[in-house]
Amino acid sequence: MARRQRIWITRAQPGADVTAERVRALGHDAVVAPLLAVKVLPDVEVDLRGVAALAFTSANGVRAFADASGERSLKVFAVGAATAQAARSAGFRSVLSADGDVEALAEGIAVRRGELRGAVLHPGAAEPAGDLAGSLEKHGVEARRLILYETAPVALEAAEAEDLARCDAVLLHSPRASQVLAKVLKAHPAPRLRALGLSKAVVKPLARTPMAAKAFPPFPLEAALLNLIDRRP
């Protein structure tokens, strides 16, 4: 039987609680302490003139767009199963997903550019994990960005940070979260803590941070990420 572990969940809410439930279902203790908070920008004008499709790189982007616009008939391209499911749950009927990163999504959209009669709109964060619009332009696809929210680091009290550093592993879903974690661990070292990231790009910001291990799954899916918990180095 696998050893019961204490797992730090760093992703922003509401996703953090969903991940925590999955961690507990595996028989581990989940500690929810997000390193990022999502702040939806008020009064954003959503201009869909000339837009043929939407591209989402996170469930947060889907939720922010769904709150800002009632449009649900446009074709949707999404990174990963979780983002695609969020789009379907929001009411979008035509949803295509690409497993991988922003570049993988751009390549998937480029393959279908002959079907598009207009631009691809990328609703997302003020500081996205990658430049989807730029990648699409390189593939010859007209693209625009729509900034709907921003993510801000969450300040941890010293005592809380020290307690979290004693967890067995920390789950990371974005490069931004890893950047914040690197700063936390600089002040509160955790050489026995394992960092489990959703992809290689996610764990990259921790390259110079002393930790017990840094691992990522072969596919950027949360189910694959959770499988890493019981795989000791």
Domain boundaries, the chain: 6-35+154-227, 46-151
pLDDT for 2-50, tens place per residue? 789 999 999 998 889 999 999 999 999 999 999 999 999 998 999 999 9
Same CATH topology for 6-35+154-227 and 46-151: the answer is yes
Could you tell me if 86 and 57 are in contact, meaning their C-beta atoms sit under 8 angstroms apart? no
- pLDDT tier, 233 (very low <50, low <70, confident <90, very high otherwise): low
Tokens of 118: 């207009």
Q: Please tell me the predicted confidence (pLDDT) of residue 133.
A: 87
C-alpha–C-alpha distance, residues 134 and 1, integer Å: 47
Low-confidence winner among 75-84, 86-95, 114-123 (lowest mean pLDDT): 75-84
Provide the mean pLDDT of the chain: 92
> Is it the case that residue 119 has pLDDT exceeding 60?
yes
Q: Which of 35, 15, 9 is nearest to 153 (CA)?
A: 35
pLDDT at 44: 92
Enter the CATH code of domain 6-35+154-227.
Answer: 3.40.50.10090
Largest CA-CA distance found in the chain, in angstroms, rounded: 57
**Over 80: is that where the pLDDT of 100 sits?**
no
What pLDDT does residue 103 have? 82
CATH hierarchy code of domain 46-151: 3.40.50.10090
Q: β-pairing, 143-153 with 75-79?
A: unpaired
Query: Is the pTM of the predicted complex or chain greater than 0.85?
Result: no
Q: Quick one: average pLDDT of 90-118?
A: 87
Instruction: Tell me the average pLDDT across 64-85.
Output: 91
Interacting residues of 12 by C-beta distance below 8 A, sequence separation 6+: 34, 36, 37, 38, 60, 151
Q: Coil, strand, or helix at residue 29?
A: strand
Within its chain, how far is the Cα of 162 from the centroid? 25
83 falls in which pLDDT band (50, 70, 90)? confident
Strand order in the sheet with 169-172: 29-32, 6-9, 169-172, 194-197, 213-215
